[in-house]
Amino acid sequence: MNRRRVVITGMGVVSPLGCKLDDFWGRLVAGTSGIRNIQTFNVSDYTSQIAGEVIEFNPEDFVEKKEARRMDPFSLYGLAAAKMAVNDSGIDFSACDTTRAGVLVGSGIGGLQILISQMRTLDSRGPSRFSPFMIPQMITNIIAGQIAIEYGLKGPNFCITSACASATHCLGESLRMIERGEADIMVAGGTEGAINELGVGGFCAMRALSTRNDEPTRASRPFDMDRDGFVIGEGAGLLVVEEYDHAVKRGANIYCELAGYGRTCDAYHITAPDSEGEGGARGMKLAYEDAGLNADEIDYINAHGTSTKLNDKGETLAIKTALGENNARKVAISSTKSMTGHLLGAAGGVEAIASALIIRNGIIPPTINLENPDPDCDLDYVPNTAREAKVNACLSNSLGFGGHNATLCFKSIA
């Protein structure tokens, strides 16, 4: 089968570092932390009281006020990011065959804020006062439907929920559908809005979150010896993924090529990664080989890099296995979660955007707060300061609870 080339032509981001592409990129390169004390609810009884909240976001810039009140934050963020991505792409769907344009957007958790509000309604007013919109507001697939309705897109449409690998799986499966001729255009990525009492409380109960509450901007510290857990974040990263000739014909601005995809499973533990990183290593190798590359042709890796003890050590081992020891020591690696926190099901979408911008701009964002390197994490993580570098090919890793591993490979347009 002749595989069609696939490219990125539009991107939209809602993040703790901003809700405009230029703001997000500028702060990423500057090493700015988006982690703050949580403002949206009372966290005095929580062990972790910090997060990467979205603060520069006005829902009414994207949807009418009445409609915004009916939407969970994850849907609002996702629809906003989709609109920004479509606008960035310059695509006119009225001039396209919309039966060959689809949407594949994931969320790890979905409408958790709606669940909280409706449970409060049940407790205070009884079951007769449930909102008739409760179910469609909550379900993880609703955002893919909303985006399709917005633009009249009648092609493939669904969501993938694979915890923190959700967005990366959505982008990878969009790549597969386009290269096989099942679609010409996909709006793909992930969205999450779980900074609330249940989301933070659940991760606190797992002891997964950093408790460095007195210095939030220094709390997310991937690969550092003093890391003590991840910092929860929220937002959305949506991309317009398009068949190359289709994009060229309409004169699209092409960021880079989405060239390879690997997905594996650890089959090891419901939350802990395989300590040897075997599954993640296979995923990376599948991705760069799928792109027609060798290990020594990878210039950069956007690490999953959560700032947890197990992930960072295991991912370091996985990179060494996937690339070989010598190549692993030459490749630049960074974790943008050091600045955004962990956006859960949206993480892979936001990090795909970062990867595309790295290829476009020739600058690698740093891993901030890397002050006391862990001896078990002994690769080049671009500590604390951005680095100018020509990046022709890069990988972006996402690992999710349940042992889900997904890696994308991006290439510059030759």
pLDDT tens-digit map of 54-99: 999 999 999 999 889 889 999 999 999 999 999 999 999 999 999 9
The whole-chain average pLDDT of the chain stands at 96
Tokens 């809005």: give the residue: 193
Q: How many residues does the chain have?
A: 414
Q: How many CA atoms lie within 13 A of 300 on its CB side?
A: 32
Query: Which residues contact residue 124 at a Cβ distance below 8 angstroms, ignoring those fewer than 6 apart?
Result: none
Query: 394 and 355 in contact (C-beta within 8 Å)?
Result: yes
Nearest-angstrom CA–CA distance, 129 and 398: 40
Q: Is 309 exposed, middle or buried (0-12, 13-18, 19+ CB in 10 A)?
A: middle
Q: Determine contact, residues 167/352, Cβ cutoff 8 Å.
A: yes
Q: For the residues 180-193, what does the mean pLDDT come to?
A: 98
Q: Which two tokens stand for residue 390?
A: 């020509």
Reported as a single tens digit per residue, the pLDDT across 396-409 is 999 999 999 999 99
Q: Which CA distances in Å does 70 have to 59, 134, 139, 390?
A: 11, 9, 13, 45
Residue 404 bears catalytic tag: no
Catalytic residue among 169, 246, 342, 404: 342
Can you tell me the mean pLDDT for 339-344? 98
The yes-or-no verdict on residue 154 having pLDDT over 80 is yes
Paired strand residues for 397: 407
- Mean pLDDT over 325-339 rounds to 98
Average pLDDT on 331-344 reads 98
Distance CA 401, CA 206 (A): 12
- What average pLDDT score do residues 142-162 get? 97
Residue 72 DSSP symbol:
-
**Which pLDDT score, from 0 to 100, does residue 283 have?**
98
pLDDT at 69: 87
Query: Does residue 246 carry a catalytic annotation?
Result: no
User: Quick one: average pLDDT of 36-40?
Assistant: 97
How far is the C-alpha of 70 from the C-alpha of 102, rounded, in Å? 24
pLDDT, position 1: 62
Residue tagged active-site, from 19, 96, 159, 164: 164
Query: 61: burial class by Cβ within 10 Å (0-12, 13-18, 19+)?
Result: exposed
pLDDT bin (cut points 50, 70, 90) of residue 275 is: confident
pLDDT band per the 50, 70, 90 thresholds, residue 276? confident
Residue 70 pLDDT: 87
Query: Taking Cα atoms as reference points, which of 84, 76, 80, 79 lies closest to residue 111?
Result: 76
Bridge partner list, 302: 334, 396
The residue from 304, 394, 404, 409 that is catalytic is 304
Active site includes 159?
A: no
Q: Exposure pattern of 6-34 as b/e (b: 16+ CB <10 Å)?
A: bbbbbbbbbbbbbbebeebbebbbebbbb
Q: How confident is the model at residue 297 (pLDDT cuts 50, 70, 90)?
A: very high
* Percent of the residues in the chain that have a pLDDT greater than 70, as a whole number: 100
How many C-beta atoms surround the C-beta of residue 406 within 10 A? 31
